[in-house]
Amino acid sequence: MAQQHVPVILSSEMARAIQVKVDFLLKKVERDNFFNQFLKNTEKEVQRLEINNNIFNKDTLHAIRGQLDKEKAQLLYSQQVIKQGINSVITDFLNAIEGSTVPDLEEDPEKEAYCQFMEQLRTDRNQG
C-alpha cells in the first residue's frame, strides 16, 4: 500500500502575515546586530578615555557613559521585542496548522521527525 503525504496548507493570508512578521524580525535583528557592534566599539573607546583622558572633564565622560548605558538598555529591550516576535510567529504557525492532519506515515521516519519538530516548536513557545 502506497504512503500518501498530505502537506499542511496555510491560507495565503496567514502565510503572508507570517512572512511579513519574519521579514520585520530579520530586518530588526540585522539592525540590532549592527548597533550592538557599534555599541561594543563605543564602549571600548569610552573605557580608553576613562583610563587615559586628557580631552574631556569627568562630567562630560559621565554624561557619555550615561548615554551609552541608555543605548545599551534600549538594545536589550529591542532584543526582548525580537524574542516576543519570534514566539508570535511560532504561535501563528502552530495556530495555522492546528487541526491539520498529520500525514499517515506509519513507519516513515519523516513522521517522527515532523512530530519532534512540532513538539520542539510548542516547547520553545511555552518556555518563552
Which pLDDT tens digit goes with each residue over 40-49? 998 898 888 8
- pLDDT, mean over the chain: 77
Answer whether residue 15 shows pLDDT above 60.
yes
Q: Calculate mean pLDDT across residues 90-104.
A: 66
Residue type, 8: V
Inside any domain, residue 102: no
pTM value?
A: 0.56
Q: Who's near 121: CB < 8 A, 6+ residues apart?
A: 90, 93, 94
pLDDT confidence of residue 120: 73
The tally of domains found in the chain comes to 1
Q: What is the pLDDT of residues 50-64, one digit of tens each?
A: 888 777 788 888 888
Q: Which long-range contacts (CB under 8 A, 24 or more apart) does 32-37 make?
A: 32/75, 32/78, 32/79, 32/82, 35/71, 35/75, 36/75
Structural domain that includes position 38? 12-97
In this predicted model, which residue has the larger pLDDT, 27 or 91?
27
Residue type, 54: N
Question: In the structure, what pLDDT confidence band is assigned to residue 111 with cuts at 50, 70 and 90?
Answer: low
Residue 93, judged by CB atoms within 10 A of its CB (0-12, 13-18, 19+), counts as buried
Inside any domain, residue 25: yes
Cα distance between residue 30 and residue 37, in whole Å: 11
Inside any domain, residue 128: no
Question: In the structure, what pLDDT confidence band is assigned to residue 70 with cuts at 50, 70 and 90?
Answer: very high
Inside any domain, residue 54: yes
pLDDT confidence of residue 128: 60
Give me the CATH number covering residue 68: 1.20.58
Cell numbers that stand for 94 in this block: 502552530
Inside any domain, residue 75: yes
Helix (H) or strand (E) holding 30: helix 12-51
Inside any domain, residue 126: no
